[in-house]
Amino acid sequence: MDEDELFRAYRRTGDQALRNEIVERNLHIASILAKKFVGRGVEYDDLFQVASLALIKGVERFEPDKGLKFSTFITPTITGEIKNYFRDRSRLVHLPRKVSELRALARKEAEEELTRTGKKPSAAQLAARLGVTEEELLRAEEAGSVVSLDRTVDDDSENMSFYDVLASGGDAYENLENRDAVISALKELSGQERAVVNFRFGQELSQAETAKRMGVSQMYISRMERKILEKLRENLKKSMAE
Amino acid sequence: MRTLLELTMPLESGLMTTARLATGGVCSLAGLDLDTSEDCKVCLTESLLLLMHRGFSAVRVRFFEDEGLLVRAAGTGEIREAGEYPEDEISFALLGALNGSVTTAKKGGKLAEISFRFAK
């Protein structure tokens, strides 16, 4: 069956197997588009997941009789969803810390300016306001590889945390304090949550691989990861305040 | 309309990052915000890929400051044999999704120039 026939058959019957086949045949589009947006601070796996969900939604909305190819129809849909995801999602901790802080400050400043004047500031204006060079600001924006606080800490907390190896400003005491904060924040997690942290950030497995090892769906891992990050953020706040 | 930069380079995958970095710098000069700059970089990458797939061995990219940034990428150099690239359709759709002002020009019936503008 060609693509148009598949769509028509799916519209006629509502058969989920047909829908799945359409999605599988077009999953490469989700993959191609997800790759185009790598390097903006979100992992490929997450982008691919967002793109795949947009693909499934798009299959429901596509009308084959309108004469448009599905790939032409779905590309703007997926692109829109990815851009929305970038807008909505904020990350826990970025590396190195100075870069992370600069990125966050730049976003905040840009949003405030937009609220004040209805216009987003240029990189030059932002850099001037933040007291950094344009190059520093652009480099911070270019920094794509982002790692969470818990990256190298596993269940028994024997490993070094990232603060031990990637110091910002060389403040060893601060590093030690932060490491302790991470360790105590991790202690508050359940065994299953710590396993997810270990697989995802210790062993750097993808969400899909983590799901496979734990015998659950990727979606479950994704939701759990978000919950864990929220929990860690809260725990960190608490332990920093103590 | 002021020319900010003219970039002539071989159309090779290994130089895409260089082109993207140059585009980021020019976007900043033109006063574009950071999100728009990222979109501009994606558009340039797609344009270069499309020209590469049409057999051009080099490209001349001109960046103009014009109430934002106008980018013109024209295929140049020796013409190699063009291949069949199904993903080109996705590239065109992506360009359209990120920028509503994309225009193309043909030479000898073949796509030879892609332009787009991002407003401040």
Round the average pLDDT of chain A to a whole number and report it. 79
pLDDT band at A176, cuts 50/70/90? low
What are the start-end ranges of the H helices in chain A? 3-13, 16-36, 44-61, 70-88, 97-117, 123-130, 134-142, 162-165, 172-187, 191-197, 207-214, 218-241
Q: pTM for the full model?
A: 0.59
Tokens matching residue B20: 């993207």
For residue B24, the enclosing domain spans 2-118
- Measured between beta carbons, which residues in chain B are less than 8 angstroms from residue A138? 24-25, 28
Q: What is the pLDDT of residue A242?
A: 56
CATH of the domain at B52: 3.30.565.10
Q: What is the pLDDT of residue A156?
A: 47
Would the CB atoms of A37 and B94 count as touching at under 8 Å? Answer: no
**Is residue A41 a contact partner of residue B47, using CB atoms and an 8 Å limit?**
no
**Is residue B112 a contact partner of residue B54, using CB atoms and an 8 Å limit?**
yes
Q: How far is B103 from chain A (nearest CA, A)?
A: 17
| Residues belonging to chain B with any Cβ–Cβ distance to chain A shorter than 8 Å | 21, 24-25, 27-38, 42, 45-46, 87, 89-90, 92-94, 96-98, 120
**Is residue A166 a contact partner of residue A123, using CB atoms and an 8 Å limit?**
no
| More confident call, A182 vs B70 | B70
Question: Mean pLDDT across the stretch A99-128?
Answer: 85
The pLDDT of residue A85 is above 80:
yes
pLDDT band at A174, cuts 50/70/90? low
Radius of gyration of chain B, Cα coordinates, nearest whole angstrom: 13
Tokens matching residue B71: 């980018």
| More confident call, B67 vs A87 | B67
- Alpha-carbon span B101 to A71, nearest angstrom: 20
Q: What is the pLDDT of residue A240?
A: 58
Tokens matching residue A153: 């800490």
Number of domains observed in the structure of chain B: 1
Nearest CA in chain B to A77: B97
The pLDDT of residue A148 is above 60:
no
Residues 6+ apart with CB under 8 A from B15: B9
Q: Please state the separation of Cα A100 from the chain's center in Å.
A: 15
Q: What's the order of all strands across the beta sheet hosting B103-107? A: B2-10, B56-65, B68-79, B110-119, B103-107
Question: Mean pLDDT across the stretch A212-238?
Answer: 82
Q: In this complex, which of A75, A110, A134 lies closest to B93 when CB atoms are compared?
A: A75
pLDDT band at B39, cuts 50/70/90? very high
- Alpha-carbon span A186 to A169, nearest angstrom: 25
The pLDDT of residue A147 is above 60:
no
The pLDDT of residue A172 is above 60:
no
